[in-house]
Amino acid sequence: MKTESLGTIVCTEDGPSTENIEFVIGNRNEISTEKQIPVHVGQYVSINADEGLIIAHIEQIYKTNRYFSQIDAVHEFTRSGKAFGAIFPIDRWEYVLAEAKPLGIFNNGQVQRVTYPPSPGAIVSAPDHKILSEFLGFSKEGIHLGHLLFHDIPATFNLSKMYQKHVALLAMSGAGKSYAASVMLEELLSRKPAQGRPTILVIDVHGEYTGLAESQGAKGKTFEDQITVIRSPLVEIATPRMSAKAFATYSPDMGTIQVRELTRIIRTLRTARKGQPYDIGDLTIALEQDPSINVRTREALLGWLDNLQSLRLFGKTSTPEWSKLMKPGQAVILDLSETVSLQKKQIIVDAVLRHLFDLRRDGTIPPAIVFLEEAHQFCPEARRALAFSKGILETVAREGRKYNLSLCIISQRPVRLSTTVLSQCGTNIFLRITNPYDLDHIRATSEKITKATLTSISSLTVGEALVVGQATRFPVFIQVRERATKETAFGEDFETVTRRYDKKGKKTD
Amino acid sequence: MKTISELWALDETIQKIVEQIQVIEEKRNAFASIIHSVRHSLDLQLDLPLAQQYIVDGAIAHTVKPTDLSGLRVCGVDGGLLKKTLRGIELVITRANATIFEYTPANRVSAIYFPEKMTPPTIKAELTPISWREAEVNASLERLKAEIELAIRVQDHHSTELLLLDGSLRPHISDRPPNKSVFSSKYDKIKALYEELFVKTEETGTLLAGVIKDSRSQRFMRIFGELLPHLINRNPELKRLLELDYRTILKTSYDTDFFFRVLDVGERSPILRLNDFNSTSNVESNTDTQLDSRLVCFYLRTAKYDYPLCVEVFTGSYDPLRIIEKISAMLLPMSSDNEEFALPAVLIDADSQARLIERDLDFLFAQLANRIGYPQSLLKLRRERMPFH
């Protein structure tokens, strides 16, 4: 096995130790002339040590140069106005020192803890691709999200490891969340029956995912036969599926007496209808005609039902028929972009998820993955009354694993996300996040996030992601691959859209 | 209870030192300001044997026109030294290194290091019982030997326009071993090495100069003191010197003190011949008087806030004036980048390369002890083993 030598381990006050090694990068001259950067923060290196092959992760890189170590000397020599390099051979004395954290020992396919440090003077090399891929826990088949940053290694994650315990895709606005989610969707939709195909629901708040269903992809790829787009105005919630408690969820001021009375009314109506569907209008009539109900209770219930009726969400049956749409290898994009009211969106999400949870629990639909855009709107950390969908989302987060109903929550404000939901996500995919409150929240909810990792998150560039958690043995930085399907107008830049709009205006003038 | 300042009589002592400094500085300034005003016009080449013998060119100050360094290759040679005296052994570690600067047209300096970038040190052990003075001489001679040998050798491998030694082109008077010393032959060998170096530079056509960092020479002060009565007679503007106790000033000043006040930045002193200079310098005479006659020195002011460089030059068979013009024109731009520190950059680099640190010596001592333990020969001196320190 031929590996590229990168440097040599040096002694420091603290190392080399099992926790930290520092190595000086070799062959500065070659680097200088060829303008190559030999190592990067985030890159992996290997060291042959007594215990076996140590794989380490570069956490910091420093440069040193004896000509610049004394402030006063530098100041005085630069006052002449000459470039420092015209006075002294500064290039010859620049050394690059990298600080790396040993992650583990790779021995015959097994990963073990590092319990004995490598020796000073040991050679640090670029790791063999196959070994590194195995070490990090990449899969040969699975969800191919891109490639490992600074290494030409496909970043392919095992489906079960990634989705068994939910995924959180977190990033600031414009960092590429939807793009990365689209890549995940492409991967899931590309699976063959022999590989196992989950069904997918995408809760698309801004209509960003409809491009997946369009026939002209960037690389000619299309999933139009596998995707159904459901616009929110077409969604109807089956009133007969609603219990009094469910109504109470959407009318938080409803008291126990009102819930009890409504339960009785619903039961009476169901008996009278003999299995025939009914809607809120029917329920209102039944309530008005009930002789035994207290007048005040009736008036209050009528008011709440009227409010719900005005949302135009509740019908006699469920539309669409989710059990028929949610098939293996099929995706439903629930486009909420036409719905302005957040309350209404939350009710839709709540109702659909409750229905899916039931369908999945009784095995009517295959294992499912729910992509939830702008998740902080649907399961905020704030009290339940402010988000009707928070309850079901926390239930799915806690219990969904048992029924193979997985969440992929996508958010630009992790700090506003329910801690319960976030902490249940086994895999976190971070793109660039700079908000310090968001970063603190991430640190608090994930034990695998170190301070150094947190710092890296804020310096990621668009398209770069950090994957942490169940899907991988160690945190990995990846470059998200190019998507094969068409990007929606949201992916276009401001100037392009403005130009197109202007052109359109000229034609009509 | 008395304070430390009171116990030591600190205020009085310091005040006394301050007053001494102030008096001498004032005197030197007053003397120098008179000379400064005539520094370009005063002609030292009097029709006197002393002037003829030592002074090459006339004026006190000469403006140097700096040369464009682009394309030049300059070599700097320096040596590092560490010495440890144990009960029965003298350990001497030396490292000589040559740095070759190539000034590229792209306004960059590239460097070559000879024999290599990280030259390993040379270790010598002297087991013969020797006196303290001999121990000092031996260590110094070892460094000189390493430096001069390297200066000769580097010319076989690299061609440069100018070769700069860190230090004099002759052994210092303190390097001469006492009579009947075991190191007399070593000393003679070093003098021979200097001669070999001079011959080599003539063969290779390399200009050779020694830059003395902290010269304490009073050579010019002594010569000037002899010439000054004649100069005062011939130059009415110098009559004011008679009001000063100029003889004392000359006696108590180093050449560099004088030229720091008299030269402006970018000026050099007159050229002085170094032949037969035992009486006027601290450096040793060479056995070959013909070679001695080809050694000159001058002072060059390159920095506003640092004293001038003392430069010794081997002129070979060439006209000293032309050689010094060339060398000073090169030294000025390569030493004037720092207003507070005057030394050619190549020698600053060579110094860093050659420097040895105490840790190297400790490492060597530990290696010896690891092999043979701590026999009497390896016992550290009592002064280094004092209890309670």
Q: Which pLDDT value is given to residue B88?
A: 86
pLDDT digits (tens, 9 = 90+) for A423-456: 899 999 999 888 888 888 887 777 767 777 788 8
For testing contact with chain A, the best of B108, B335, B336 (most A CBs within 10 A): B108
Q: How many residues comprise chain B?
A: 389
Q: What is the pLDDT of residues A186-243, one digit of tens each?
A: 999 999 999 999 999 999 998 888 878 776 655 666 788 899 999 999 999 999 988 8
Residues of B in contact with A32 (CB under 8 A): none
User: Tokens standing for A504?
Assistant: 């359109």
Give this prediction's pTM: 0.72
- Beta-strand ranges (E) seen in A29-153 are 44-49, 52-65, 94-107, 110-112, 123-125, 143-148
Q: Are B169 and B194 in contact (CB under 8 A)?
A: yes
The structure tokens listed for B90 are 């003298």
Residue with tokens 């009947």: B180
Tens of pLDDT, residue by residue over A241-274, are 888 988 888 887 888 888 999 999 999 998 988 8
C-alpha closest to that of B96 among B153, B53, B46: B153
Partner-chain contact B337 A87, CB within 8 Å: yes
The answer to whether the CB atoms of B338 and A80 lie below 8 A apart is: yes
How does strand B73-85 pair with strand A464-469?
unpaired
Distance from CA of B111 to the nearest CA of A (A): 6
Confidence at residue A32, expressed as pLDDT on a 0 to 100 scale: 44
Average pLDDT value for residue range A353-379: 93
Kindly list the distances between the CA atom of residue A442 and the CA atoms of A110, A412, A425, A451, B192, in Å, as whole numbers in the listed order: 30, 12, 12, 11, 76
Please name each of the domains of chain A with its CATH number: 5-136 (no CATH), 154-235+319-496 (3.40.50.300), 237-315 (no CATH)
Contacts of B336 in chain A (CB under 8 A): 80
* A336 neighbors A346 (Cβ within 8 angstroms): no
Chain B residues whose beta carbon lies within 8 Å of the beta carbon of residue A83? 107-108
The torsion angle over the Cα atoms of residues A216, A218, A223 and A224, rounded to 10 degrees, is -20
SS (H, E, C) chain B: CCCHHHHHCHHHHHHHHHHHHHHHHHHHHHHHHHHHHCCCCCCCCCCCHHHHHHECCCCCCEECCCCCCCCCEEEEEEEEEEEEEECCCEEEEEEEEEEEEEEECCCEEEEEEECCCCCCCEEEEECCCCCHHHHHHHHHHHHHHHHHHHHHHHHHHCCCCEEEEECCCCCEHHHCCCCCCCCHHHHHHHHHHHHHHHHHHHHHCCEEEEEECCCCCCHHHHHHHHHHHHHHHHCHHHHHHHHCCHHHHHHCCCHHHHHHHHCCCCEECCCEECCCCCCCCCECCCCCHHHHCCEEEEEEECCCCCCCEEEEEECCCCCHHHHHHHHHHHHHHHHCCCCCCCCCHHHHHHHHHHCCCHHHHHHHHHHHHHHHCCCHHHCECHHHCCCCC
Percent of chain A scoring above 70 in pLDDT:
93
Strands B62-63 and B73-85: unpaired
Residue among A168, A166, A198 at smallest CA distance from A185: A198
Looking at the partner chain, which of A66, A79, A92 has a beta carbon nearest the beta carbon of B339?
A: A79
CB contact under 8 A, A92 and B337: no
For residue B73, the one-letter residue type is: R
CA dist B261 and B282 (Å) reads: 23
Which of the residues B70, B104, B109 would you substitute to probe the A interface, choosing the one with the greatest number of A C-beta atoms within 10 Å? Answer: B109
Contact state of B352 with A76 under an 8 Å Cβ cutoff:
no
Of A77, A83, A92, the CB nearest to B111: A92
Closest residue by Cα to residue A385 from A244, A251, A247, A205: A251
Kindly indicate whether the ipTM for this predicted assembly is greater than 0.85, answering yes or no. Answer: no
Each residue of A118-153: pLDDT tens digit? Answer: 999 999 999 999 999 999 999 988 999 999 998 989
Q: A157: closest CA among A337, A148, A234? A: A148
If we measure between CA atoms, which residue out of B248, B278, B277, B272 comes closest to residue B259? B272
Q: Which residues of A touch B (CB under 8 A)?
A: 66, 73, 76-77, 79-80, 82-83, 85-89, 91-92
* Tens digit of pLDDT at every position of chain B (389 positions): 778 777 778 888 899 999 999 999 999 999 999 999 999 999 998 989 889 888 999 899 999 999 999 999 999 999 999 998 888 888 999 999 999 999 988 878 999 999 998 888 999 998 888 888 899 999 999 999 999 999 999 999 999 999 999 999 988 888 888 888 888 999 999 999 999 999 999 999 999 999 999 999 999 999 999 999 999 999 888 999 988 888 999 999 999 999 999 999 999 999 999 875 444 445 445 444 555 678 999 999 999 999 999 999 999 888 999 999 999 999 999 999 999 999 999 999 999 999 998 888 888 888 888 888 888 888 888 888 787 76
Distant-in-sequence, close-in-space partners of B191: CB < 8 Å, separation ≥ 6? B171, B284, B286, B287
Q: At residue A462, what are phi and psi to the nearest 5 degrees?
A: -60, 130
